[in-house]
Amino acid sequence: MKSSLFSVFRRNVIPTMVSYKIKSGSKFSKFKDSKKLPNNAKFFLPIHRETLNISYKNVYTVDEIINSFPENKIDNDLLVNNFTRKDLLSAEPGSFTLEKLNNDNEKSLAIYLNEVLFNDRLTQDIQETHTNTFVDYLFRELRFDKYPLSMKLQLDFSFRISEHEVFVKIEFSVIKNKVTLCIDEDKHIHTLNRSTKYGESQISAEIFACAYTNFENFYSSTFGKDQTVYAIRVIGTRFTFYKVFLSSEYFKSLDKGFSPNDLTVTIYRFPPNDNEITPFGYDYADKDHRRLILNLLFSLKEYMLKI
């Protein structure tokens, strides 16, 4: 039986598309000693992800991320009156632009977005709290903090390969019945670089740690079962959505070391990063992307409420 958890990464997937693959040929085992893995996910590089037999694949439609995609259930305040990026950049406290908005909820979100957008332009004196504040506000407005869900700050996760343990700290987590939705972030686009595949090496370790923790936790509803993980990365105002399936056989194989070449994991990425429009995800500051982001977040919350 497949079981699910959510991991939302603030850096601030249809069953047929989500699978672990059986491969007949030899693969990219870069090293055999698990102690060569970093002790912390923040130091993960592509070589570490590949040694865990984890890879990424682009998908090109919303339906490949989540089956349910409800329309017309979004709080209009979260659309910020369809403000453009230019509008949001001028929506400072006391500004004429801000006063065009209809209520305090719209104004609050516009100010948070304004702060993130200005911070995004900086290469020094970067304020990490702006992305934290924006994402925290958005997820609470979407009621990820309301029963039976609850939001937690800076929870620790880990995974073990043989006797070697790797630790992960997630900025925000949403929990229901011991099933966890993890929220982490890259606060600034300038912190990303090619050597880490623009942060996705670390994300793969964080997704894996969330899945591993739920697989090993006796009190989790997903204990000892296959794991389906939904994840979200936020870079400033940009959102990327992920889905991945990890089999129980994959987890069990790690007791003796790295999994064999015929047990692999594919993380599916939406929107795809192979175009000029969404290399780092859909942008909440873009009025044409905003509703799609909200619909996906709402769908993920509704899915989590049902499990």
Query: Per-residue pLDDT averaged across 150-170, rounded?
Result: 90
Which one of 79-88, 173-182, 192-201 scores highest in mean pLDDT? 79-88
Q: How confident is the model at residue 2 (pLDDT cuts 50, 70, 90)?
A: very low
Q: What's the whole-model pTM score?
A: 0.86
Q: Which residue has the higher pLDDT, 240 or 32?
A: 240
Residue 142 has pLDDT above 90, yes or no: yes
Domain ranges, residue 149: 2-306
Residue 125 has pLDDT above 90, yes or no: no
What's the domain count of the chain? 1
DSSP H or E segment with residue 114? helix 104-120
- pLDDT of amino acid 154: 82
Q: Which residue has the higher pLDDT, 232 or 252?
A: 252
Residue 45 has pLDDT above 80, yes or no: yes
Half-sphere exposure of 277 (CA within 13 A, CB side): 7
Helical packing angle, 104-120 and 129-141, nearest 10°: 150
For 3-29, the pLDDT digits (tens) are 455 555 544 432 333 333 434 344 444
* Of residues 130, 79, 137, the one with CA closest to residue 103: 79
